[in-house]
A and B are shown apart, each in its own frame.
Chain A
Amino acid sequence: MSSYLEFLSRHADQLVNGTAITLAQFVLSALVAITLAVIAGLLTLAPSRPLKAVATVYIEIFRGTSLLVQLYWIYFVLPLMGLELPKFVAGFVTVGACFGAYGAELVRGAVLSVPKGQWEAALALNMSPAKRMRRIILPQALAIMLPPWGNMMVEILKGTALVALISVADLMFMSRQINGTTYQSAQAFGTALIIYYVFARFLVTPLMRWLERAMARRLGRA
């Protein structure tokens, strides 16, 4: 035990820095995922065929291929086509785009499961399509999709570990580095495991639960 504490204090800097990068990657990935999910999810419901097609292609590509391959593509192949992203940016954009594609299905499903009577009541009040969506449908869709988004957030957090493979200096990257220099695999990866778990279990999940409760209150259900 004392040797593990020694291990921790010796590598505190690396672990803290790595954790900070992981958190930053997580928050930024989540923002990208939410944005893309809402846009793509709504576009799949748009009356315009070309817009629908764009959204469908995006969803198909990012859901149908592996996140790791997508990371390599965006980090190694796009520069060959003239688009070079810093690895930090490439990391969260790719993770965000990947989970945004899954999220788009959640958005679409939630919007479709708002009862038809709500659309009709909004139309009877002569609301424009944009106001109908923003003021009436989306707030209710949000309440429907929050629970699955809670799982998604944990998946995004875990998914960010892959950015280590394009050398973003996140928690996973640092653990590998520590392992490489000390060969203390159990300690290095064990610590990473614990930190990921603690964040998922005691930060992300409670936050999402809190959001769900706040939402229920807004619907007058709490």
Chain B
Amino acid sequence: MTDKTIHYPLKLEGPDVPMVRFMNVSKRYGDLVVLDRLDLDVAAGEMVTIIGPSGSGKTTVLRMIMTLEKIDEGVIYIDGEPLTHMEKNGKLVRANQAHMRKMRSKIGMCFQHFNLFPHMTALENCMEGPVQVLGISKDEARERAMELLEMVGMAEKSDQHPSRLSGGQQQRVAIARALAMRPKVMLFDEVTSALDPEVINEVTTVIRNLVDQHSLTMLMVTHQIGFAREISDRICFFFGGRIEEQGPPTDLLDEPQEDRTQQFLSAVFDAN
């Protein structure tokens, strides 16, 4: 927060508080600027997809929301409250562990490589958070987990360890595991990139149903432009740690205004 000209409110108030707000957020690794004074709002219930070339900072955006990366500059707000910072004596200071734990409970994330716990069955993976973190009884957690496994079509495999499941199956369990914590914001980082082409549909179907049935706020990074077009409310094209261009799928994909967007999209379409 070195830039004194920017005012960071202690809380976001008013009728249209976004579920996620990046305000002037920068992230650097040494000399490499990964996010460059990024502003990004995601409304409650909105499905926003991030596309862009490799290294443009897409994953970093999600990881910063999940508090997996520290912020160098700016403030991120979740549900109107600062995530990376907290209020102390009327000023914003760096968030401590307790504050981050409180805020993290609103956020769920699915990873490219699933990261299921290998020593637990699919069901146990989905019960771990509710039982250990939320303190829910085992019976209730089992019921909740089975419901979600049912929803992602993995109920019959609930007693299998991840090593016995295909990539698509593992990713569906990972989605159920994240949903079992009842987050308000779900983050998907290239959840189909590690999958064989023939099972990608298993996972995209689950996400499509989520979009249709839930009021979840979702932020998704993907290289599947077709899928993004189909389910997104808005697509953001990232370049060099900033949003180069954004808009509804039809606008951004069919009539991109910026040269870099056009180049990126034609490269992607040529590849397909």
Binding site for B on A (CB under 8 A): 115, 117-118, 120-128, 131, 135-136, 139-140, 143, 218-221
Known A120-B68, A125-B133, A135-B132; judge A220-B111 contact (CB<8 A).
no
| Complex contact A120–B111 (CB within 8 A) | yes
Known A220-B160, A221-B163; judge A140-B111 contact (CB<8 A).
no
Closest to B105 in A: A126
| Complex contact A117–B113 (CB within 8 A) | yes
B119 contacts chain A at the CB level, 8 A cutoff: yes
A124 in complex: contacting residue of B108, B119, B163, CB < 8 Å: B108
B167 contacts chain A at the CB level, 8 A cutoff: no
B161 in complex: contacting residue of A120, A125, A220, CB < 8 Å: A220
Closest to A135 in B: B132
B117 in complex: contacting residue of A118, A126, A143, A221, CB < 8 Å: A118
Closest to B161 in A: A220
- Convert B32-63 into 0s and 1s, putting 1 for each residue whose CB lies closer than 8 angstroms to a CB of A: 00000000000000000000000000000000
| Complex contact B117–A121 (CB within 8 A) | yes
Known A135-B132, A220-B162; judge A124-B109 contact (CB<8 A).
yes
A140 in complex: contacting residue of B66, B118, B160, CB < 8 Å: B118
Quote the shortest CB–CB distance from B96 to chain A (angstroms).
Answer: 13
Binding site for A on B (CB under 8 A): 66-68, 101, 104-105, 107-109, 111, 113, 115-119, 121, 128-129, 132-133, 160-164, 177-178, 181
Closest to A220 in B: B161
CA distance A22 to B240 in the complex (A): 67
Known A117-B113, A135-B128; judge A126-B118 contact (CB<8 A).
no
Known A126-B104, A128-B101, A131-B133; judge A120-B115 contact (CB<8 A).
yes
| Complex contact A123–B132 (CB within 8 A) | no
| Complex contact A220–B163 (CB within 8 A) | yes
Could you say which residues of chain A place their CB within 8 Å of the CB of B116? 121
| Complex contact B109–A219 (CB within 8 A) | no
A219 in complex: contacting residue of B67, B119, B132, B177, CB < 8 Å: B119
CA distance A125 to B164 in the complex (A): 23
Known A120-B68, A219-B161, A220-B163; judge A125-B118 contact (CB<8 A).
no
| Complex contact B129–A125 (CB within 8 A) | yes
Could you say which residues of chain B place their CB within 8 Å of the CB of A122? 117
| Complex contact B181–A136 (CB within 8 A) | no
| Complex contact A220–B164 (CB within 8 A) | yes
Quote the shortest CB–CB distance from A57 to chain B (angstroms).
Answer: 28
Closest to B131 in A: A135
Known A135-B132, A220-B160, A221-B163; judge A123-B67 contact (CB<8 A).
yes
| Complex contact B113–A131 (CB within 8 A) | no
CA distance A21 to B10 in the complex (A): 68
Could you say which residues of chain A place their CB within 8 Å of the CB of B132? 125, 127, 131, 135
| Complex contact A126–B133 (CB within 8 A) | yes
Closest to A123 in B: B68
- Top 3 nearest A-B pairs (CB, nearest first) are A220-B161, A121-B115, A125-B129
| Complex contact A140–B119 (CB within 8 A) | yes
CA distance A115 to B117 in the complex (A): 11
CA distance A122 to B128 in the complex (A): 9
Could you say which residues of chain A place their CB within 8 Å of the CB of B178? 124-125
Could you say which residues of chain A place their CB within 8 Å of the CB of B121? 220
Q: Which of B113, B128, B178 has the most CB of A within 10 A?
A: B128
CA distance A209 to B132 in the complex (A): 31
Could you say which residues of chain A place their CB within 8 Å of the CB of B129? 125-127
Could you say which residues of chain B place their CB within 8 Å of the CB of A117? 111, 113, 115
CA distance A120 to B65 in the complex (A): 13
8 pairs, CB–CB < 8 Å, chain A vs chain B: A123-B104, A124-B109, A125-B178, A126-B133, A140-B119, A219-B161, A220-B118, A221-B163
